[in-house]
Structure 1
């Protein structure tokens, strides 16, 4: 409920702050379960994706955001799933992610597990591959380019074709997660080639 109420206001604010160019919306299915995997460069990323994609997205978020009752209520109400990045125990958030997929909804994840500066190389977490494999759900790779401080800064959101693991001859989760990140980076390279 809160997600639906806040989304129009968030969309207005985002479009006032940024000049957004979106490519690849035709790759987003209208009904079936889906995993969205994107690079993570700023705190705006989940808001941007929630605003440009019409469907409701359930994002994983760092547990530190849920440190008091109000924030826990707020972030839970807008479909955020807390994950403790330091404990190594991810059973509960993974179960919640599986539940989202089994309900035919959209699960959002940043495979790097944290915000990364441009050019920073981080080994992606295995979660995106684990959930995709367990549910046989396609992954939608997305790259967000150009988020900077300032007003009316231009950014580009590029949505790539779906990735389906059943068509890949890769078995281990680390390699599959790296494959997803490589696809995201390829989208970024294509953008710079186009420009």
Structure 2
């Protein structure tokens, strides 16, 4: 309910704040379940993805955002659920992610596991590979490019061809996560703001 009320308002705010160009709309599959995997450059990222697409994307969010009643209510209403990054054990949120995908919904994840600047290379976490391997859901790589300060700075959201994990070796989570992140980085490099 809250999601459907807030989405058009937040989308208008995002469109006023950034000059957004979306590239690769033809790569968006018509069917779900689906894993949306994107680079993580700012706090706007989950909002951008949730507002710019028709899906209701379920995201993991840091547990600190759920500590008081209002913020817990808000983030739960917009399909976020908590993960404790300090504990090092994410069994409950992983199970929740699997349940989301297994019921035919869209799950969003940032493989880097933290915010990184455009072009910064880090070893991705294994979560995206584990979840994809356990569900056989396709992964849609997305690069977010150019979230900067200023008056309506340009911003690109680049959607790549989906990754079908059934056609890859999905037993090596480290390599599969790296492969997904490489697809995102390639989109970022190809469509950088200077190109």
User: TM-score scaled to structure 2, two decimals?
Assistant: 0.95
Structure 1, unpaired ranges of 5+: none
1:88: Cα distance to partner? Answer: 1.1
Verify the 8 A CA contact 2:27 2:161 in the aligned structure 1: yes
Partner of 2:45: 45
Superposition RMSD on alpha carbons, in Å?
A: 1.4
Runs of 4+ in 1 over 4 A off after TM superposition: none
SS of the aligned residue for 1:54 comes to: coil
Say if 2:110 is the partner of 1:107: no
- Report whether the alignment pairs 1:127 with 2:138: no
Larger CA deviation: 122-131 vs 136-145: 122-131
Corresponding residue of 1:191: 191
The residue aligned with 2:156 is: 156
Please say if residues 129 and 177 of structure 2, whose CA atoms lie closer than 8 Å, have aligned partners that are also in contact.
yes
Shift of 1:174: 1.1
TM-superposition CA deviations, 1:111-132 (whole Å, max 9, x none): 1111112333322111111110
- Residues 23 and 159, structure 1, Cα contact 8 Å, conserved in 2: yes
- Cα distance in structure 2, aligned partners of 1:119 and 1:184: 11
Q: How many residues align?
A: 195
Q: Which runs of 5+ in 2 are unaligned?
A: none
The 10-residue stretch of structure 1 (58-67 or 11-20) with the greater mean CA deviation from structure 2: 58-67
TM-score normalized by structure 1?
0.95
- Confirm or deny that 1:23 pairs with 2:48: no
| SS state at 2:192 partner | helix
- Does residue 171 of structure 2 align to residue 171 of structure 1? yes
